[in-house]
Structure 1
Amino acid sequence: MTEVISELVAEPIEAPAQAAATARDLGELDSLVAHCTACPRLVAWREGVAREKRAAFRGEQYWGRPVPGFGPTDASIAVVGLAPAAHGANRTGRMFTGDRSGTVLYQALYDVGLASQPDSHSIGDGLELYDTRITAPVRCAPPANKPTPDERDACRPWLARELELLRPTLRVVVVLGGYGWQALLPVLGASEWRVPRPRPKFGHGVHARIPATDGGADLDLLGCYHVSQQNTFTGRLTPPMLREVFQQAKELAGVA
């Protein structure tokens, strides 16, 4: 397991907009993301969590770095969450891996044929995603799961470049939660799509068509309640509800 970033990185990235623009492909972008130190509060928090650890994971080496996206570089479906969990992706280095939210998410993806297995424990567990890439508008675990607006905006270039590189194949975005929805719309509006006015409002099951401005395919945006424990434990979001959203995403994307 990779060590905490403060012990590894000789040249931290403090300007995401400049760095993201240099990425020629998603592999390069993912590597750059993991070197970002643009937000001092988030750097201190993620590394502090990685040093102190949770008792259940005391024997593990935490990732403790910004978390890149996960999934194939020619994905037709993107899943946009919020940010890494302190003892989930901040520990494992892969989005939604190693926490209860990920348990629900990956089971649903497996059930509809978008994942090779129903669970996700670590980077080396063999999990593959099919036609799907998972990402987030904020790449560092934030205190109380609440990034500030400035932190969200500083992180925006990573997501913008990721979607730009996915553009040739991307057809559908499933957004988990209102935070991701609000963070994503400005990214789309500044890229190859025209966000309708008034802007579509978030809601579970909401479907919005975002017209393309570059002559390419339009984008279908699907809203889904976040797979947080608050939603899944209370029944606000159930496995059938989640499967229904991903099945719709498959159909809209033309995935068999």
Structure 2
Amino acid sequence: MSDITSRLVADPVGDPATAAANARRLTDLDELITRCTACPRLVAWREEVARVKRAAFRDEDYWGRPVPGFGPADAAIAIVGLAPAAHGGNRTGRMFTGDRSGDVLYQALYDVGLASQPDSRHIGDGLTLHRTRITAPVRCAPPANKPTPMERDTCRPWLARELGMLRPTLRVVVVLGAFGWQALMPVLADTAWQVPKPRPKFGHEAHAELPATDGGSALHLLASYHVSQQNTFTGKLTPEMLREVLERAKELAGVARTHTSGR
């Protein structure tokens, strides 16, 4: 048994609200997230997937735990998805890593200068993000990729605390998909921003500016269709469409390009 697995078994986190509130650094929060056992259905599913595996990955050790966010603590842009994929993040331990959705996302991030390389295969592949952090409202891979409302709400304190820690530098949130858009609204209201009524509606390239409730900077919300195969294979979301949203996020956040891609 690995050290981290031993720690998970010996010291599980069953109450995200209390644990998240006690985290003082982003690294501490990430570590606590990996030990969460609050949702029995998700715990059972993520561990079953890690045990049974997909044939293509049968020789790999699956992560099989909740997946923390990925990116620097001074992020000006946050990208919010849905939940880890069963054989993507649940296998690799990093959001959008090792699956086709991630292939599309990281290529686009690289193209606009927010990622150091165009693909994300595993935690040790050397990938870094520039002023950008990738996260999700649900941290465990759910069956059929559909978390329940209760699971979403139970997981909410992790994202609220994460965005609160990013508050000094965070200026833009790019939301991938309608689920993330809806899940994010109460998180923002509980953190430092005023969500208008009626709430902004999801739609590709939707944009809303949320005033701060703490005297700080406003937050820009941008929406994109999710990078799921259902959207990218059918052309509902093209690489160009995604790049346009990310370029807009950079402009609103004041993030400069750090490299020139081969695109």
Shorter-normalised TM-score: what interval?
Answer: over 0.9
Alignment of 1:98-177 (within 5 A): 98-177=98-177
User: Are the aligned partners of 2:8 and 2:35 in contact in 1 as well (CA < 8 Å)?
Assistant: no
CA distance in structure 2 between the partners assigned to 1:117 and 1:23 by the alignment: 31
Any unmatched runs of 5+ in structure 1? Answer: none
Alignment of 1:1-256 (within 5 A): 5=5, 8-256=8-256
CA distance in structure 1 between the partners assigned to 2:76 and 2:7 by the alignment: 36
**Normalising to structure 1: TM-score of the pair?**
0.98
CA distance in structure 2 between the partners assigned to 1:199 and 1:179 by the alignment: 14
CA distance in structure 2 between the partners assigned to 1:2 and 1:183 by the alignment: 34
User: Are the aligned partners of 1:2 and 1:61 in contact in 2 as well (CA < 8 Å)?
Assistant: no
- Relative distance call for 1:4 and 1:87 in structure 2 (3 A) is farther
- Relative distance call for 1:130 and 1:2 in structure 2 (3 A) is farther
CA-based RMSD of the aligned residues comes to: 1.4
- Relative distance call for 1:7 and 1:38 in structure 2 (3 A) is same
The number of residue pairs the alignment matches comes to 256
CA distance in structure 1 between the partners assigned to 2:114 and 2:9 by the alignment: 34
**What is aligned with 2:261?**
none
Q: By how many angstroms is 1:2 displaced?
A: 6.0
CA distance in structure 2 between the partners assigned to 1:51 and 1:231 by the alignment: 29
CA distance in structure 1 between the partners assigned to 2:161 and 2:7 by the alignment: 27
Report the secondary structure of 1:223's partner residue. Answer: strand
**Normalising to structure 2: TM-score of the pair?**
0.95
- One-letter amino acid of the counterpart of residue 121, structure 1: R
CA distance in structure 2 between the partners assigned to 1:215 and 1:31 by the alignment: 30
Any unmatched runs of 5+ in structure 2? Answer: 257-263
- Relative distance call for 1:51 and 1:6 in structure 2 (3 A) is farther
Q: Percent of aligned positions with the same letter in both sequences?
A: 77
- Residue by residue over 1:214-246, the C-alpha shift from the partner in whole angstroms, topping out at 9 and shown as x without a partner, is 110000000000000000000000000000000
